[in-house]
Structure 1
Amino acid sequence: MNDRTAGALRSPITFSVFAGLVIGALLLLGTGANPLTAYGEVISGSLGEDGIGSTLTTTTSVLGLALALAVPLRAGLINLGGDGQMVLGGITAAVVGLYSPLPAPLTVVAALIAAMAVGAAYAALAAVCENHFGVPLLVSSLLLSYPAMSLASYLARYPLKEPGSSLPQTRAMPDGVDLPAFGDSTVTVGLVLVVLAAAGYWFTDRRTAFGYEIRMTGLNPRFSAYAGVRRAGLTLKLMSVSGALAGLTGALGVLSFPYRFVDGALTAPGYTWTGLTAALLAAAVPLGTVIASFFFGVLQVGGLAMERTTEVPRELTQVLQAIVIVFLAARLRLPRRASRQKKKAAV
């Protein structure tokens, strides 16, 4: 076993995932289920021929929100307003799609750009609240989600509501105002867009001075401030990018099936919190965020298949997510405590 392999096996992420799977297996044994059968159904149900499309579609939304939250998290900033920014992006895309006089392909582009602009502006508002009014970003971003979701709900239920429908949803997008799909699957070019966003995040993080400033701020804010990094300006930039990615994710959900804005459809699956979990698991590292998002996409889709086949509730996959994060937090905390104890003993 070489040093790189040994290091990967000792990494906090690998340890946390492995520990989560082991405890999940014990829970399954406690319910009388066969862990191997249950986990096998998760894999086959999510990565098999019938499930891979749903997994990639779910991963598109999870990865979009994970990237949106990972960008500020890389600098030690936590954006909890993903739901509001995503919903505003979705309703903006719906409005542009329904009323734009442009040809269908240009309308799709305009809807995506408008959704990103609105999401960026709304996330920047949370940064302004912290920079100028002293409201912590954690609080301002979360509280700003509620008026955003309420506004989108009002628009979907009244001015934009589909006539004759009992559901709180807008009218369907006109013909051609949608994202092209791959073959007969539900996977659209939205997956390509979020992968390109991940590639851009990686390039910025690893190959630019701005990415270095972000990493240094996350590792040591006092050092970065001493080196001349203006935290207020950095917060505004990162929150704008974060909101743009969240708005893009909302637009992808509207321009894909069911090709309309449905009140609650974007927030009900919990993409924001799953994305935050993925970003935390990967420590906001670009490649790790992509892998973690796919991992949680597999768990979400595979959990449904497991429930259908083995009668094990799909909520077990949510328990696994929670266990992974708990072990990751403990794994990252223990070395720091051990290091402090060694320093005290040396003194």
Structure 2
Amino acid sequence: MSDVARPMRRLLRIPPVPLAILVGVVLGGLLVLVSGGNPVEAYAAIVTGSLAWDSLPNTLNWAVPLVGMTLVAAIPLRGGMINLGGDGQMVIGGLVAALVPLYLPGPGPLLIVVAILAAMVASGLYATIAAWGETRHGIPMLISSLLLSYPAIGICSYVVGFPLRDTTTGLAQTPMIPEAARLPVLSGPLNAGLLVMLVVAVLVVLYDRFTVGGYELRMRGLNARFAGYGGVPLARQMTGVMFASGAIAGLVGALIVLGSQFRFQDGALLSPGYTWSGLMAALLAGGEPLGAILAGAFFAALQTGGFAMQRETSIPRVLTMVLQSIIILFLAIRHGVGRRRETR
């Protein structure tokens, strides 16, 4: 073996995720250097702007919806399924969560619970349409879940733009939610949504690691045909997985509406791109829930750190999106190379 080949083989022995992050950091630094910036200053600003004591609440606040949408993608991905309808499911959840406290009577704490549960049920049921289409009619869920987002977004946009619009403003949005029905504030930008998402994340990890259903889902991800031969009810499992995935998307929409926006605004839930960042984080972890949660938190830190980098160094925060893309692309290339070697 040549002296040049040995370091390359050692490099390829590094676990894929750390190696992908390392490659992303190096290539991102080169881009900054080529554009005339200082990579060290850029990365220092990202770290300080996301993990410093004053910045950490903003990172955690951004991580709540991003980790949630990461789980939305990771749960089906664990079983070899892909849910691309997170946008539509999140929007449905957000609208339902806004309408419940506006039009139902009751004490504030009860309305919060009812709004969250109603949002989860509505979004979960909507997500199962994609599963029903594949199990009963052979429509690939990859396609139907994505296409179902468009009517959901369009209908919600119409509802808040016309029949239920706040007539005191010229914008497509609902009236403000009563203060009693808003999520309690913990500290600064953080609200009780952080605790709710933490509980959900723990439950997902425990379900994946210690239940029969989690084991069956992992078996499906490894070999769906084998899992079916082993007695796993694949159609019912797909429906249940999509309901859980959609329910978490609805929860994310509800937490944003009840915790920070206090009304449903047309397009406000979609503009941050939580769904697609969450999908990338889930792909980074290969659908494994604990790894997906950590990847979602990592991407949230990149996002908040990107604002600080742009403010402190004048380097556009789009660099953080470039880093995410490079990391995922490198993982895809590396796994593709590995599969090609196995087939030789």
How far residue 138 of structure 1 moved from its aligned partner, in angstroms, is 0.6
1:163 is aligned to 2:167? yes
- Pick one of 171, 178, 183 that aligns with 1:174: 178
Distance 1:208 1:7 in 2: 36
Q: Within 5 A, what are the aligned runs for 1:87-236?
A: 87-183=91-187, 185-236=188-239
Question: Structure 1 vs Structure 2: percent identity of aligned residues?
Answer: 47
Provide the rounded CA distance (Å) in 2 between the counterparts of 1:201 and 1:258: 27
Give RMSD over aligned pairs: 1.5
Asked if residue 338 in structure 1 is aligned to residue 341 in structure 2, the reply is yes
**TM-aligned CA deviation for residue 151 of structure 1:** 1.0
Count of aligned positions: 335
Whichever residue aligns with residue 175 of structure 2, its letter is R
Amino acid at match of 1:64: G
CA distance in 2, matches of 1:8, 1:109: 49
Question: Aligned residue for 1:344?
Answer: none
Q: Is 1:328 paired with 2:331?
A: yes
Change (3 A) 1:328 1:47: same
Aligned to 1:81: 85
Deviation at 1:98, TM superposition (A): 0.6
Which residue number in structure 2 is paired with residue 287 of structure 1?
290
Whole-Å separation in 1 of the counterparts to 2:304 and 2:252? 19
Partner of 1:255, secondary structure, is: helix
Shift of 1:8: 12
Q: Contact 1:88/1:152 (CA < 8 Å) preserved in 2? A: yes
1:42 maps to what in 2? 46
Distance 1:279 1:193 in 2: 20
Superposition deviation, residue 9 in structure 1:
7.7
Q: Kindly provide the amino acid, as one letter, of the partner of residue 239 in structure 1.
A: M
TM-score (norm 1): 0.94
Q: Distance between the aligned counterparts of 1:218 and 1:181, measured in 2?
A: 39
1:68 is matched with: 72
Q: Which residue of 2 aligns with 1:275?
A: 278
Separation in structure 2 between the aligned mates of residue 340 and residue 150 of structure 1, nearest angstrom: 45
**CA displacement at 1:335 relative to structure 2:** 2.0
Alignment CA distance shift 1:246-1:8 (3 Å) = farther
**Structure 1 residues 277-286 or 108-117, which shifts more?**
277-286
- Is 1:301 equivalent to 2:304 in the alignment? yes
Letter in structure 1 aligned against 2:270 = T
Shift of 1:51: 2.0
In 1: Cα distance, 2:224 partner to 2:11 partner: 28
Give 1:208 deviation, angstroms: 0.8
Amino acid at match of 1:235: M
Return the offset for 1:222: 1.6
**CA deviation after TM superposition for structure 1 residue 211, in Å:** 0.6
Amino acid at match of 2:318: E
SS in 2 for 1:182: strand
Q: Is the 8 A contact 1:8 1:14 kept in 2?
A: no
In structure 2, the partner of 1:260 is 263
Distance between the aligned counterparts of 1:159 and 1:200, measured in 2?
A: 38
Deviation string, structure 1 residues 110-136 (Cα, Å, up to 9, x no partner):
000000000110001111111112110
TM-score for the superposition, normalised by structure 2 = 0.95
Instruction: Give 2:227's aligned amino acid.
Output: S
Q: Give the Cα separation in 1 of the matches to 2:124 and 2:168.
A: 34
Distance 2:195 2:283 in 1: 23
Q: Which residues of 2 match residues 1-80 of structure 1 at below 5 A? A: 10-80=14-84
Partner Cα separation in structure 2 for residue 190 and residue 328 of structure 1: 32
Contact 1:281 1:325 in 2 (8 A): yes
Match of residue 238 from structure 1: 241
Q: CA deviation at 1:291?
A: 0.8
Q: Unaligned 5+ residue runs, structure 2?
A: 1-9
Distance 2:153 2:298 in 1: 28
Cα distance in 2 between the residues matched to 1:131 and 1:7? 43
SS at match of 1:256: helix
**Partner in structure 1 of residue 317 of structure 2:** 314
